[in-house]
Amino acid sequence: GKRAVDAVPDVTRTRLDPADIHKPVAMVGSSFVGELSVDIGEIRELDPALYYEVVGLWAEEGASAEERRELVDESFVGAGTDPFTHDESTLGTPDIWRIDMCNIGLDHEVYERVPLPPATSTIGSDYFLLHLVRDATLPGVVHNRNIVNYYTPERRTGPGFTAYQLRFTKFLLSMLYLYPVYTAMEGARGALLDENHHVRAATIGELVGRSTGTDRAENIRRLDVVDRCYRQLGGKYAEFADHIRPLRERLLDEAQADMEDFALLIEAWGPLVTASRSESPARGVDDA
């Protein structure tokens, strides 16, 4: 919430565009060391080629083979393995590839303008706000106090494995609708802010609503690739492919419905936040 110009003394280095010095710092964050941020490292160990094919599914439709490979190489790896030795921080346009939602603070103003996407059982949807902050040209601070990431065994066996892989699959499907919004936000940049440096929520809602009409053909292909690759991996991965095969139409519908719900929530969010300010936090459930 501090103006970027007032935050300069508190960081190691500054890479601010002069046009942004009076905007509020909207994000402060870092990354992680340890296991991948998405628990699919076992796929990479079993078959690196299939790992590249599956993870490459979250690339934008039409991406070249080189662009997909670069995306896969950058995906989910965090800050590597180097231990922490001293503080470093950079103020400027945040590099969202160096920030993870497990290690972030956002100005409450961001949340009050645009909510998180309400997609259920879908990993990665919360990263929408990182794109929003960057593309709206709001300053951020990237530091190097990375957390240590690891996974509990529950996510890797039985129902926990099935549930997690379903969330990952839905993440891949969500990209069909998120990429058009990301592209439009990146093109709009500073126009996403009003004269008081507030995010224009109505503009974001329009972009999200427009994306819901995207043709599903690419998502059908994504499901086909997941099915084929997981069957090649065998074992519990083949069992997961069997699990989602009868769910294909439902998953395709849910991916679209999630974005429709997001557009509706953005429209209602401002009034909801305003109404919440007028409510006393001391009211109990029986009084509501």
110-162 residue pLDDT tens: 999 999 999 989 999 999 999 999 999 999 999 999 999 988 888 888 999 99
Confidence at residue 156, expressed as pLDDT on a 0 to 100 scale: 86
3-state secondary structure of 220: helix
Domain spans of the chain? Answer: 4-266
Confidence at residue 288, expressed as pLDDT on a 0 to 100 scale: 45
| pTM, to two decimals | 0.93
Return the closest-CA partner of residue 190 out of 18, 16, 19. Answer: 19
Confidence at residue 190, expressed as pLDDT on a 0 to 100 scale: 86
pLDDT tens for each residue of the chain, 288 residues long: 999 999 999 999 999 999 999 999 999 999 999 999 999 999 999 999 999 999 999 999 999 999 999 999 999 999 987 888 999 999 999 999 999 998 999 999 999 999 999 998 999 999 999 999 999 999 999 999 999 998 888 888 899 999 999 999 999 999 999 999 999 999 999 899 999 999 999 999 999 999 999 999 999 999 999 999 999 999 999 999 999 999 999 999 999 999 999 999 999 999 999 999 887 666 555 554
Return the closest-CA partner of residue 26 out of 114, 88, 97, 86. Answer: 114
The total of other beta-carbon atoms located within 10 Å of residue 148's CB is 11
E strands, the chain, are: 13-15, 27-29, 32-34, 89-92, 104-106, 140-143, 147-149
pLDDT > 70: percent of the chain: 97
Residue 227's alpha-carbon distances to 167, 207, 254, in angstroms, are 15, 31, 18
Confidence at residue 280, expressed as pLDDT on a 0 to 100 scale: 67
Confidence at residue 286, expressed as pLDDT on a 0 to 100 scale: 54
The total of other beta-carbon atoms located within 10 Å of residue 260's CB is 15
> What is the four-CA torsion angle of 271, 3, 102, 262, rounded to 10 degrees?
30
